Amino acid sequence: MSTSVGRRLADAPQNLSADPAAHELVLAELPQAFLVLDDANLVAPPLSTAAAALLRAPVRAGARLQDLFKPLAGDKSLALILDALMRAAQGPAVEHVELRLPRTDGALETVRCRLEFRTLAHAGDPPRWLLLLQDETAALQQTHDLEDLRREVRIQSEILRSVLRMGRARFAASVQKTDRAMSAIDAILKKPAREQAAFRNKLEETLEEVDRIRREGAALKLTSLEHSARAFEDALHGLRSRATLSGSDFLPLAVKMDELYGQFALLRSLTKNVPAPAAAAPAQRATPLTDNGTQIIDAPKFIKRMREARARPASAPAASLDGTLASLCAHIAELHGKSVVLECEGLGDVPAPYQATVKNVAIQLIGNAIIHGIETPELRAKAGKSGAATLKLAFRAAATGGYELRFQDDGCGVDPDLVRRTAVEKRLLSAEEAALLPERQVIKLIFKAGFTTLPPEAGGPPHGAGLSLTRRYVDEAGGKIALASEPGFNTRFKITLPPIVDAGGGA
């Protein structure tokens, strides 16, 4: 805020609303979104058009601060805002909160907002407050993207140092050991288990393989791989301390497994183009070695290969995503006694900026479909369906310039009457409101955080987070999600993602 603007606000608080020219001057010199509050916490002139645009809601003189933010902030965020206002009496107070702001399509979007309260001093007048608002969502996303890039560069550097230190042969052998351990974990987690002894055996076998991966990561000095393995190991030790185990206890391990596999997939993709040592031939120059027998690598050529690999379309991660999702699908289906086939299409065409979004959305939709939508083979047979359910996941470029991710299952669908009853039981709607709500709106309630039609399982993980997470992932990518269902037959999701804008502003 400029000094001249601050002085005008402090010296002439009453005249600004009466003087249109001064009002316009302030708004012209201060494009930043702001609110002026009187001593009763009511919005006072001048009214900032930038504030109304940021909050996506009208800002009227005389409105209470609580009433303005209550529809946009949860109870926790609202309490933080009011606490910052109280602290402003001792000096400028800053708070960062999440607001749920309406989009043009009626959906809500989570925005991270910075609020700064300042005192507007004016001799002889009651205290007034200046609230500066700033949408920092894009800045935070840029920070996250930068951290991802730094992490990837760090991993590349660790790989290079490890190859230089160990030699290609020893490095490749260590990577192969890790690959075998990853495959073993996947096979172990797919093993059927019903008795406690079988669950304990799965746990100990998995621990042994994860420990092997952690030790290989430490030997290679690949900190990200080692840390992911250690986090997986800690989760397994947490299960080991439980008196009894069930199949549901292993379900959260899929996330840890996915994180570990992601680190290893990156390692493998960055090293797959390093050629294996060639057999010695008389006509070839002898391979240079150090005094202790370690092979000397031409570092500049290795860096060049990595850069060339990064510049080419990344087909390997997409193929890995197919395999990861298929393994996850089989694992969840086994835990819940269901038979499911996953069909994937177009995942090799997912652009790099959307790969994380597509992966996260697919994981949640697959888990939700198997747990909530797919019937057991016995129930499917009674309904005249095949014993094995089919999940279809397809990604493609949209004719309008963006992208589409479609997901469909042939399960029992969403029962709008059951959703209505559940919404009334959870006091999300009154019985009258639920009765009047159209079916297309009713089924959208399943996107609400914590909403589930399943009864709680004793000692099991809570339900109701998957689809709210899905919507959050889509919102954060700037996309939209649509839902349709035929009760008894299928459920369909359509996610649309906007075109990717390059650094020059083009699509």
How much is the average pLDDT of 484-491? 85
Q: Where residue 454 falls among pLDDT bands split at 50, 70, 90?
A: low
Kindly list the strands in the beta sheet with 108-120, ordered across the sheet, starting from the edge strand earlier in the chain.
Answer: 43-44, 33-37, 128-135, 108-120, 93-102
CA 484/CA 409 separation, integer angstroms = 11
Nearest to 375 by CA among 434, 415, 402, 328: 415
Under CATH, which number does the domain 3-135 receive? 3.30.450.20
d(CA 317, CA 352): 10
Is residue 200 packed enough to be buried (19+ CB in 10 Å), middle (13-18) or exposed (0-12)? middle
Q: What is the pLDDT of residues 330-375, one digit of tens each?
A: 888 888 888 899 999 988 888 888 888 898 888 888 888 888 889 9
Cα distances (Å, whole numbers) of residue 146 to 200, 424, 502: 41, 44, 16
- List, in order, residues 6 or more apart from 64 with CB less than 8 Å away: 41, 42, 43
What are the CA-CA distances from residue 377 to residues 266, 410, 411 (Å)? Answer: 38, 13, 11
Pairing relationship of beta strands 389-397 and 340-345 according to DSSP bridges: parallel
Please report, for the chain, the start and end positions of each structural domain, with discontinuous segments joined by +.
Answer: 3-135, 149-272, 315-507
Q: Using alpha carbons only, what angle is made at residue 407 by residues 401 and 413, rounded to the nearest 5 degrees?
A: 135
> How high is the pLDDT of residue 26?
60
Phi, psi of 32 (to 5 degrees): -65, 145
Give the C-alpha separation, 439 to 443, whole Å. 6
pLDDT tens-place string over residues 166-224: 777 777 888 888 888 888 888 887 788 888 888 888 888 888 888 888 888 888 788 87
| CB proximity list for 96: less than 8 A, separation 6 or greater | 112, 113, 114, 115, 136
How far is residue 224's CA from residue 246's CA, in Å, rounded to a whole number? 30
Helices (H), 413-499: 416-425, 431-436, 439-442, 466-476
pLDDT above 90 (res 395): yes
For residue 276, give the 3-state DSSP assignment.
coil
Whether the model pTM is above 0.75? no
Q: Note the pLDDT of residue 258.
A: 73
Q: What is the mean pLDDT of the chain?
A: 76
What integer is the mean pLDDT of 466-493?
82
Count helices and strands (H / E) in the chain. 20, 10
For residue 15, which of 29, 3, 25 has the smallest C-alpha distance? 25
User: Would 3-135 and 315-507 be classified into the same CATH topology?
Assistant: no
pLDDT, greater one: 252 or 34: 34
pLDDT in tens, 283-305: 444 445 444 444 444 444 434 44
pLDDT at 403: 92
Q: Per 3-state DSSP, what percentage of the chain is helix, strand, and coil (rounded to 5)? A: 55, 15, 30
Structure tokens at 263: 């680190």
pLDDT at 20: 62
* CA 434 – CA 501 distance, rounded (Å): 41
What class is the 315-507 domain? alpha beta
CA distance 304 to 308: 6
